[in-house]
Amino acid sequence: MNFETLKYFSVSSDLIRSTEKELKTAGKSGYELFVLWTGTISQEGFVTRSMHVPRQTSYKLNAGLCVRVDGSVLHELNRWLYEHQEFLGVQIHSHPSEAYHSDTDDAYPIVTTLGGLSIVVPDFCQGGFFSPGTVAYRLQPNGWAELGPSTFRSILHVDP
C-alpha cells in the first residue's frame, strides 16, 4: 500500500451528499465536524467505500473552534478497517468561514498515511462540498502540501 503514488481518489456522489449533510448539520449549531472516507486501493487509485463520522467532541473556545477524537475511538476505527480490509484515505472537516489548514490541523491529523488527503470546506459547508473556497491538502514527507484547485479537481473523481 503506497498512497504517495496514487493518481486519483474516487468517491460516489451519494457519499459526497452524505458528507455535506453531516458537515451542514454540525455547522448549523456552530460546530466543526470530522468526516472520514475509507476504502480500497485499485490499480492507481483509492476507491472510497465507506464514510465514518467518528464520535468526537466539538469545542467553541475563545481562540476558535476545535474538534477532538479520542484515541479509543481511533482504535475502534482501526479495528473496523482491519476487519473490513479498508484503509483510511481522506479526512474532511469544515470551518466557519475561510477554509485552510490550521496549525492544529497540521499537528493533529487523523489521516497520517503519506499521500492521504485532507479536505477543508468553508462556511460550515453551507455552499456545498465543492464551493469555490474548498481546499485540499496531501500529506507529504515534509508535511501537508496544499493542492491547487485544478489538481484537486483532477485527483478527486466523483462517480454517479
Radius of gyration of the chain from Cα atoms?
15
Tens-place pLDDT, residues 65-83: 889 999 999 999 999 999 9
Write the burial class of residue 127 (CB in 10 Å: 0-12 exposed, 13-18 middle, 19+ buried): middle
Confidence at residue 146, expressed as pLDDT on a 0 to 100 scale: 97
Can you give the residue ranges of every domain in the chain?
3-123
pLDDT single digits (tens) 70-120: 999 999 999 999 999 999 999 999 999 999 999 989 999 999 999 999 999
**Superfamily of domain 3-123, CATH level 4:** Cytidine Deaminase, domain 2 (3.40.140.10)
Comparison of pLDDT for 128 and 63, the residue scoring more: 128
pLDDT beyond 90 at 59: no
What does pTM read for this prediction? Answer: 0.95
> Which helix H or strand E contains 59, and what residues bound it?
strand 57-61
Quote the cell numbers at residue 113. 498515511
User: Is residue 115 within 8 Å of 6, Cβ to Cβ?
Assistant: yes
Q: Residue 9: which H helix or E strand, with range?
A: strand 8-12
| Confidence class for position 1, pLDDT limits 50, 70, 90 | low
Long-range contacts of 129-134 (CB under 8 A, 24+ apart): 129/16, 129/19, 129/20, 129/23, 133/98, 133/99, 134/99
CB 45 within 8 A of CB 158: no
Would you state the pLDDT for residue 61?
Answer: 85
The answer to whether residues 104 and 93 touch, using CB atoms and an 8 Å cutoff, is no
